[in-house]
Amino acid sequence: MDTIYVPCVKPSDWKALYRAAILEANASDIPKRVSEAEEAVLARGRELFYLHGTPEEKEALEDALYALRAFKTACQHAQTG
């Protein structure tokens, strides 16, 4: 079975979506923004797996994914508390 991946429209798309999620001021829009950014980061990671990207971008993707998940958790706790 062949593995299929969908490339990002542009390699830098994940960065813009990451920034939009982290900087979103409307609390009700945060989950959607974070989800979009996570999907873009993961898609770019898959691209780099097949295209052998730079170690710097791979590390940036890992950092972004970690930050997005921490941000999402913090927002969830803020809403329940």
Q: What is the mean pLDDT of the chain?
A: 84
pLDDT band at 77 (very low <50, low <70, confident <90, very high): confident
Neighbours of 38 (CB within 10 A): 19
Residues 13-25: pLDDT tens digits?
899 999 999 999 8
| 73/7 Cα distance (integer angstroms) | 28
Among 55, 57, 18, CA closest to 40: 18
49-69 mean pLDDT: 92
